[in-house]
Amino acid sequence: MMETLPEWPLFGMAEDVRPALRQAQQGNLPLVLATLTAVEGGGPRPPGTQMVFADGIVAGYFSGGCVEGDIAGHARACLQDGVPRTLVYGAGSPWPDIQLLCGARIEIFLERVEAGDPALIELLAAEAARRPTEWISDGVKRSCAAPGAVETWAGAIARRHDPVPRLVVFGSDPTALAIAALGAQSGFETTLVRPKGPEAPPPLAGVGYRRDEPQSALDAVGADAWTAVAIATHSLELDQAALAAALPSAAGYVGLLGARRRLPERLAPLRAKGVAESVLLRVHAPIGLDIGGKAPWEVAVSVIGEVMALRHARGADRAPASQRDKVGAG
């Protein structure tokens, strides 16, 4: 059974399906949650990738167009009968005419979830509270709790959900605006901080705005392990104030725009105040991956790229080779 999906798959740009889950839950709509559980042969998406299907709602993607239409049809059937099912595409699939161009074999688990399901309600509550959670389900019985709090049982899938990544950008020039804009487009909860800036916010979609001093702004936004701070003020005084606020915080990333040779000057006041060297070493400077460009959008790409690279590297317990020698350079 094939379902018609939009010709332009903008739904596939949603990496995090929780907004779609919330939309269905708030509309009191039953939904089908599809989870990629196994990949063999180098598929385009990693295990844990998800899609959501509900009346008028579709989000996520698995293959870039090879199987999504067929999955939508199975999701419609799952929505009607409530029976969980596992779909196989590639080697061993009952649908040999549906092939992934990459030659991979993938398995996808489909489950119907009611709008009032306690696990769904907990997942969305944890997202709002910025708490990591783990979704465990066999399609009939399910749990959503802190990672490791519930043991996975036979026949169940497990999928961890971390808080939405957050980005705080200090600055007001075109580079700071580009970093904030690209961050918002890349799925970060983004706030631009310009102390004593104009009352009107910047005309950037999805970007919050604050005019207060760095410490109060960061306290108000909140900084946790899933927060990245990009300091791009072109002001020595503001750089130092932003560093003083960000470095002792729980932010997972603190980057500073500017020449490497000026880093000791910026860090000197913090050293004089007794800030530990281990804390100062958290600064990524010069900010961003070394891609060779200095135009605003080029710097923005390098910054968001570095934040993402380090986030994925932490998951693999390693640091990107291009960054190991740069972090904390003075």
CA–CA separation, 254 and 228 (whole Å): 6
- Expressed as residue numbers, the domain containing 109 is 10-161
pLDDT digits (tens, 9 = 90+) for 231-280: 999 898 999 999 999 999 999 999 999 888 888 888 888 899 888 898 99
At 260 the pLDDT is: 83
Are residues 284 and 306 in contact, defined by beta-carbon separation less than 8 angstroms?
Answer: yes
**Is the pLDDT at 330 greater than 70, yes or no?**
no
At 212 the pLDDT is: 97
- Residues 306, 180 share a domain: yes
- Residues 271, 153 share a domain: no
Side-chain half-sphere exposure of 141, counting CA atoms within 13 A: 7
**Is the pLDDT at 8 greater than 80, yes or no?**
yes
Mean local confidence (pLDDT), 103-116: 93
- Residues 104, 191 share a domain: no
At 94 the pLDDT is: 78
Residue 329 lies in a domain: no
- Residues 251, 182 share a domain: yes
- Residues 182, 217 share a domain: yes
Give the closest residue to 33 by CA, choosing from 132, 114, 126, 118. Answer: 114
Are residues 161 and 129 in contact, defined by beta-carbon separation less than 8 angstroms?
Answer: no
Residue 2 lies in a domain: no
Give the closest residue to 117 by CA, choosing from 132, 139, 134. Answer: 139
pTM for this model (two decimals): 0.90
For tokens 């399901």, the residue is: 117
Query: What amino acid is encoded at 150 in this protein?
Result: V
Mean local confidence (pLDDT), 115-124: 98
Q: Is 301 helix (H, G, I), strand (E, B) or coil?
A: helix
- Residues 262, 222 share a domain: yes
Domain end, chosen from 144, 161, 178, is at 161
Are residues 246 and 231 in contact, defined by beta-carbon separation less than 8 angstroms?
Answer: yes
Q: In what order do the strands lie in the sheet with 253-256?
A: 207-210, 189-193, 166-170, 227-231, 253-256, 283-284
Quote the number of domains for the chain.
Answer: 2
- Residues 144, 25 share a domain: yes
For tokens 């799925």, the residue is: 187
Residue 4 lies in a domain: no
- Residues 193, 275 share a domain: yes
**Is the pLDDT at 71 greater than 90, yes or no?**
yes
CATH code of the domain covering residue 243: 3.40.50.720
Give the closest residue to 287 by CA, choosing from 165, 170, 162. Answer: 170
Domain end, chosen from 161, 190, 211, is at 161
Are residues 52 and 24 in contact, defined by beta-carbon separation less than 8 angstroms?
Answer: yes
Mean local confidence (pLDDT), 5-9: 88
Radius of gyration of the chain (CA): 22
Residue 317 lies in a domain: yes
Q: Is 308 helix (H, G, I), strand (E, B) or coil?
A: helix
Residue 248 lies in a domain: yes
- Residues 240, 173 share a domain: yes
- Residues 186, 233 share a domain: yes
Domain end, chosen from 161, 183, 209, is at 161
- Residues 104, 171 share a domain: no
pLDDT-based confidence at residue 320 (cuts at 50, 70, 90) = very low
At 291 the pLDDT is: 93
CA–CA separation, 146 and 125 (whole Å): 12
DSSP per position, 178-192? HHHHHHHHTT-EEEE
At 97 the pLDDT is: 66
Mean local confidence (pLDDT), 113-129: 98
Mean local confidence (pLDDT), 79-96: 89
Side-chain half-sphere exposure of 131, counting CA atoms within 13 A: 14
What value does the mean pLDDT of the chain take? 91
- Residues 174, 153 share a domain: no
**Is the pLDDT at 287 greater than 90, yes or no?**
yes
At 3 the pLDDT is: 55
The pair phi, psi for residue 92, each rounded to 5°, is 85, 5
CA–CA separation, 76 and 12 (whole Å): 18
CA–CA separation, 109 and 156 (whole Å): 10
CA–CA separation, 49 and 85 (whole Å): 16
